[in-house]
Amino acid sequence: MKILVTGGAGFIGSHLARRLTRGGAEVVGLDNLNDYYDPQLKKDRMARLAEGPLFTHVNIDLADRKGIETLFQQHRFDAVVNLAAQAGVRYSLINPHSYVDTNLVGFVNILEGCRHSGVKHLVYASSSSVYGANTRMPFSVNDNVDHPVSLYAASKKANELMAHTYSHLFQLPTTGLRFFTVYGPWGRPDMALYLFTDAILHDRPIDIYNNGEMYRDFTHVDDLVRGIRLLIDAVPKRPASKEDIAEGDSLSPVAPFRVVNIGNSDKVRLLDFVEAIETVLGHPAQRNLMEMQPGDVPATWADATLLQSLTGYRPQTDVKDGIAAFVAWFRDYYGK
């Protein structure tokens, strides 16, 4: 099997590439190594996690229409996993155009490449952020998601709508992955666990929003990529009728299209998360309690029953163990 993984040098992409190549798949990892954060971290991820005889890195910007066209002409991919995106809720308040270029223009380029080259399954990263102003917990894939509260969330909702259109018009099987607060070794520097660990080790205060009364469904990256790998093989098929759609399934009645939550199915209070980091580091944090930030939501919590029914997936990593694994990596990588 030959698979294109966009964002191949990214946090999730590099972990996924390792899992796929260890399973015998040939992986082309697309990543333009931009400077949203330190490109050296991206290069080191590939070197430690992805690179090998079954992995090839291509340096192409997702918004490069001609470059993406050429890539799909040069390769025949069985599946595509689109993880490349401009990430981050707060950054979308500062640089909105980057979200349009990568998350919208870039995604159209991927859709077109899949359409014209016979890709059997497009799996793409959406986000739990699409649930926006929803308050009913846990979040279900069948909940209404028409009220995003950040441009990042809106771009991910747009990806789902665009994918459905291509699934309907061109019978391209697509699966959207609504990720819930992914964490673990080799994480991004703008993520809470990275920021908190770095600040505590350097005796800097940490910013805790909504005075710590926030809840997140933290999902360890190893659990996440196991779920992605299983879903690559769970190719959606257009149902013959609405009656053929199982209860709780998000399968479209008119297209081979589905969205799936990937989460730990548990919500953790942010202050408890901070305390777990302090315990592992053996050092208390200087806490700077702050108000809720624009674009943030007070809680996320995944209903992952659809994922379990499709793949048998169940998360295996306890949050405290996951934090310990991240801290061990951080100390080793930065020599702290």
CA 317 → CA 33, 36, 90, 266, 320, distances in Å? 29, 29, 28, 12, 8
Ranges of each domain in the chain: 2-180+221-264+303-316
Q: Report pLDDT for 211.
A: 87
| 3-class secondary structure, 227 | helix
At residue 174, does pLDDT exceed 90?
Answer: yes
Does residue 209 carry a catalytic annotation?
A: no
Label residue 89 by pLDDT band (50, 70, 90).
low
Structure confidence by residue, pLDDT tens digits, 314-336: 898 999 999 999 999 999 999 97
pLDDT band at 230 (very low <50, low <70, confident <90, very high): very high
The candidate with the shortest Cα–Cα distance to 215, out of 297, 140, 332, 119, is 297
Helix (H) or strand (E) holding 154: helix 151-170
Query: Is the pLDDT assigned to residue 67 strictly greater than 90?
Result: yes
Of 124, 131, 152, 183, the catalytic one is 152
| pLDDT tens, residue by residue, 268-285 | 999 999 999 999 999 999
H or E element in which residue 201 lies? helix 192-201
Residue 94 pLDDT more than 80?
no
235 sits in the region (left: phi over 0; alpha: psi -120 to 50; else beta) called beta
Indicate the pTM of the whole model: 0.96
* Range 2-180+221-264+303-316 classified under CATH 3.40.720.10: no
User: Is residue 217 within 8 Å of 181, Cβ to Cβ?
Assistant: yes
What backbone phi and psi angles, to 5 degrees, belong to 319? -60, -40
Which pLDDT does position 90 carry in this prediction?
67
Q: In 41-60, which positions are buried (b, 16+ CB within 10 angstroms) versus exposed (e)?
A: bbeebbeebbbeebbebbeb
